[in-house]
Homo-oligomer: A and B are copies of this chain.
Amino acid sequence: MGRNPRVGVIGATGYAGMELVRLILQHPSMELSYLAGSRERDETFSELFVHLVHEQGVPVEAFDPDACTAACDLAFVALPSGESGHVAAQLHARDLRVIDLSGDLRLSPEVYQAWYHKKPVDAAVQAAAVYGLTEFNGERVATADLVANPGCYATAAILAARPLCAAPFVNASQPLIIDAKSGVTGAGRSAKPHLHFAELSDDFYPYKVGQHQHTPEIEQALDGRFSVLLTTQLLPVRRGIFASVYAQLADVPSTAEVYRLYQEIYADAPFVHVFSPPQVPHIKAVAGSNYVHIGFSVNESARVLQVFCAIDNLQKGAAGQAVQNANRMFGFHETAGLTTPSMWM
């Protein structure tokens, strides 16, 4: 048996990066070998990650592609959009396997520019990246050397809506209305006025209405079958995304029929659990874990199917999914290092 693969995290001091560090240190078959991130001064690993003070960490350095390539078999890049994909491309060009957690590699340059308003990566690099939604793309991920890790809202929305692409009872000429709510870690770790505890506490409101950049990512993953209206809203909690998908019905299916559809599609997906009505997902039941809880309700009088999906935005919506992808790429079991459940209370 060979040694464990060595993995690095670029952007280790943001929330997705911090979660990656935590998950990798807990992983039975990966070795944390490289960390790059921004620091205010020469803080040690223990000062930066006080909840990991008992761990043998590695120093957090300023990013250097040579040092990174030398130290790693695979790199997770978790930098802001507009920067992350370019770093990923740079490392990929040096033959390092890379999982990019930003939105930079998920969309064609044209669509990217229209929604992100940033300079896209080279079209050939973007085309080479495999979209890392393992539940639907696992075999391609297994052999990929460049993975575009899905967005947090996109992951919840797609896992809820993708089965509807094959559903005969849905009216695809009507838009999918997706009312989504996220915990605040999805907004990143940088100090911003609206993320101040005293501002967000006890509040709830929508943001980027009609303009959230995960909209085209969802439409693309649904093969363009639906027009998508995505509304994103901030919840006064740390973690969790709850997405409600409303689909107009051509015919009204039975509850059993919908349940069977979802059960079959997710039969081999170890992280996805489908509830039968009236049980509904709770974000707390998945927060802190890589699990996905899906529920639904058929409303006969309004002729609408609602599908609910709860994930942890930092795990299945970011770092957990990235490790899940890495597990596939290294040939590990998909769930390796990812079976810690939510604490609930």
Contacts and interface: CB of A to CB of B under 8 A. Distances in A.
Given A240-B202, A280-B206, A285 B51 contact: yes
B191 A291 contact: no
Given A237-B202, A282-B50, A246 B244 contact: no
B341 A52 contact: yes
Contacts of A47: 279
Given A301-B227, A344-B50, A209 B280 contact: yes
A246 B229 contact: yes
A204 B22 contact: no
Interface string A39-55: 00000000101111111
A91 interface: no
B304 A177 contact: yes
A214 interface: no
A238 interface: yes
Given A22-B343, A246-B246, A341-B51, A304 B197 contact: no
Contacts of A195: 191, 196-198
A66 interface: no
A304 B206 CA distance: 16
A87 interface: no
A296 B341 CA distance: 34
Interface stretch (A29-37, A72-80, A178-186): A178-186
A6 interface: no
A177 B238 CA distance: 28
A200 interface: yes
B202 A287 contact: yes
A297 B233 CA distance: 14
B345 A238 contact: yes
A47 to B, nearest CB: 8
A223 interface: no
A105 B247 CA distance: 34
Contacts of A289: 51
Of A53, A177, A183, A201, most buried by chain B (CB within 10 Å of CB) is A201
A184 B197 contact: yes
A20 to B, nearest CB: 13
Interface of A: 15, 18-19, 22, 25-26, 47, 49-55, 174-175, 177, 179, 181, 183-185, 189, 191-193, 195-207, 209-210, 227-229, 231, 233, 235-240, 242, 244, 246, 248, 270-271, 273, 277-289, 291, 293, 297, 299, 301-304, 306, 308, 310, 314, 339-345
10 contacts: A51-B284, A51-B285, A53-B293, A54-B341, A177-B246, A184-B196, A196-B196, A203-B283, A204-B240, A206-B244
5 cross-chain pairs, A with B, having the tightest CB-CB distances, nearest first = A175-B302, A229-B302, A51-B342, A203-B284, A191-B191
Given A25-B341, A202-B240, 7 more contacts: A26-B341, A54-B270, A177-B302, A179-B244, A197-B199, A201-B238, A233-B242
